[in-house]
Structure 1
Amino acid sequence: MDMDATLVFHGLAIKKYARPEDVARLICWPHEKVAMRLNEATQSGRVVEISGAYTLGPLARVALDADYSRQYADIRRNDVFLAAYNSFEHVNIELKSLITDWQSVNVGGQTVANDHSDESYDMAIIDKLGGIHDRVEVILAKLSQGIPRLTFYTAALTRALERAEAGEIEWVSDVKIESYHTLWFELHEDLLRITGNQRAE
């Protein structure tokens, strides 16, 4: 595959099932260019389209996975990028723990689902999320030196955090929108694919 095809397929692999505009935002391309590429890939059978959204076909997934080592060979030898990636993985552990705290609370010694009735508890979590964000901004700045399109995540994560801080708490982790946790998960998947690492269970 050429680099353009790899990038479009890469964006689709991260989003899993997405419209052209979703992939375009992620890879920092014009919507029309992504739509054209996806239409060509659909006609060749590499991509499946359902109701205006697209997903990779099995052969495209195999081809994409095989192509990463070639397309990202230089990045995988870039010490600055890899050091920043390792820093991200350390912060990722903290983010996962914080999201667990967001989703559950301790009541009488029992862990129960957070019904978000305690505003002070929720805002304390969001405040900690802001601290994590400050650190990941620095990491993303270093990662973006190697792959400039990763600046998308800096802007998108900032928007999600600002909405959460304004009281729209669904922007912390709602899977139906580009919430902070949704974007973080996609960023992690992006980095894993770039570096050739596996997601820890």
Structure 2
Amino acid sequence: MLDPYELTVHTLTLRQLGSAEHLSDINGLPLAEVEAGLEKAVVESAVMAARGNYMITPAGRRFLDGVYPRAFAALRAESAVTAAMDAFETGVNRQVLTLTTDWQTIEVDGERVPNEHGDLDYDNKIIEKLGRVHEKTYRVLRPLADANPLVDRFLDRIGAALTRAEGGETDYISGVRVDSVHTVWFQMHEHILRLTGQERPE
């Protein structure tokens, strides 16, 4: 597994630009550990500081490319993990992508147009479907979550976004300025790809 320093640098591959607080929210490390990791990473040129935010550098990515095979060797060797990843890509991930498109657009006279979210029944049905897919994803990704608890943390954050959407905060489905379902799902997908050494499907 990743040590706190490696995890801090890794988290910047999931969120391209973020503060220490943002990274701590994602990876669950104490803020002081994230701040110490970022300070070290800046000195080692793995991370670049920019007005209170940070971004990974090419040197940081090369560092992680050397870390991942060691850190995740045992996980990558498990057949249950490979099967779970296949099920994720061909099943729940495709369903979430389709539901996100359905959330952002609506069919009118045979054409897809932007969803203005005036039809609450339409929106609520999509939120309900996302909830069912979310529950299924806990089961699909169980082998990965058992080996890497951060996967469960991502799923819990997606659940929190769904709860807020159910309460009327609809930005929490696909908004880019909040930890929406879409935003956190993207981060989780990137994380599990790096765990398993796979490429993001086109």
TM-score normalised to structure 1 length: 0.93
Alignment partner of 2:73: what SS? coil
Distance 1:145 1:86 in 2: 17
Q: Which residue in the other structure is 1:113 paired with?
A: 114
Superposed CA offset, 1:2-51 (max 9, x none): 83332211111111111112222322211101101101211232211111
Question: In the TM superposition, what is the alpha-carbon distance from 1:123 to its structure 2 partner?
Answer: 0.8
Return the offset for 1:56: 0.8
Unpaired runs of 5+ in structure 1?
none
CA contact (8 A) 2:5 2:34 kept: no
Q: Which runs of 5+ in 2 are unaligned?
A: none
Paired position in structure 2 for 1:150:
151
Question: Is residue 25 of structure 2 the alignment partner of residue 22 of structure 1?
Answer: no
Letter in 2 for 1:178: D
Quote the offset at 1:109 in angstroms: 1.6
SS at match of 1:74: helix
Partner-residue secondary structure (3-state), 2:48:
strand
Distance 2:142 2:163 in 1: 19
C-alpha distance in 2 between matches for 1:118 and 1:196 = 41
Q: Secondary structure at the match of 1:49?
A: strand
Q: Which runs of 4+ in 1 moved over 6 A?
A: none
Percent identical among aligned pairs is: 34
Structure 1 residue 154: Cα displacement: 2.2
- C-alpha distance in 2 between matches for 1:200 and 1:129: 21
Pairwise CA RMSD: 1.5
